[in-house]
A and B are shown apart, each in its own frame.
Chain A
């Protein structure tokens, strides 16, 4: 158990809809990262927040957005969903803001299915 929790575990929705994925980092970890893993694809970095502020952006679509709240939990909002958005979405947390020098602890993921 990494200490990172994600809800919901599974989410099934229709094209065009909007969903919110939630992540609670390890206690006190100020950095939160979001990743997408499609079928047969590697982990794609989406975005990072540190103490409520966006720190780094990866391959995140404009239809997707995220935020980090004062209690450090984070939400990833996915809108105008398409079939290709079906994937596992992972959240990770770390102590510092640096991906390159800090260990990330990953949550169990949310499996999103868009029908």
Chain B
């Protein structure tokens, strides 16, 4: 039982911004939101994380709503190499340090 909900798949045109949503309505006050991605059969790669404030790094931006019940990962200029499965993760509040990767969003960047 993943604690996050993400769309199964999304398409994005190359060069455009990719906006990947995630719902995490049961998130607790001290739980971070993490985003990872997995390019086919490779190890997952860390992208970004945040607690309350919006965050930006060289890969992406993370927008967290004020109530923290949802977030959006933004890839500002998607390239073909961004085609991957994107996982949004928060801690499972009922289990100490267990983490559940849901099915994620399969992002296809189209030329």
Report which A residues bind B (CB closer than 8 A).
Answer: 2, 4, 35, 42-45, 48, 55-56, 58, 88, 90, 92, 97-101, 103-109, 111
Q: Is the CB of A103 within 8 A of B98?
A: no
Report which B residues bind A (CB closer than 8 A).
Answer: 2, 31-32, 34, 36, 38, 41-46, 49, 87, 90-91, 95-104
Determine which of B45, B96, B98, B102 lies in contact with A45 in the assembled complex, contact meaning CB atoms within 8 Å: B98
Residues from chain A with a CB closer than 8 A to the CB of B87 are: 42-43
Residues from chain A with a CB closer than 8 A to the CB of B104 are: 42
Residues from chain A with a CB closer than 8 A to the CB of B36 are: 104, 106
How many A-B Cβ pairs are below 8 Å?
63
Known: A42-B104, A99-B91, A100-B31. A4 touches B43 (CB 8 A): yes
Extra contacts besides A104-B46, A108-B43, A109-B41 (15): CB < 8 Å: A2-B43, A4-B43, A35-B101, A43-B101, A44-B101, A45-B99, A45-B101, A58-B98, A99-B91, A99-B99, A100-B32, A100-B90, A100-B91, A105-B46, A106-B45
Q: Is the CB of A108 within 8 A of B42?
A: yes
With A and B bound together, what is the CA distance between A92 and B46 in angstroms?
Answer: 11
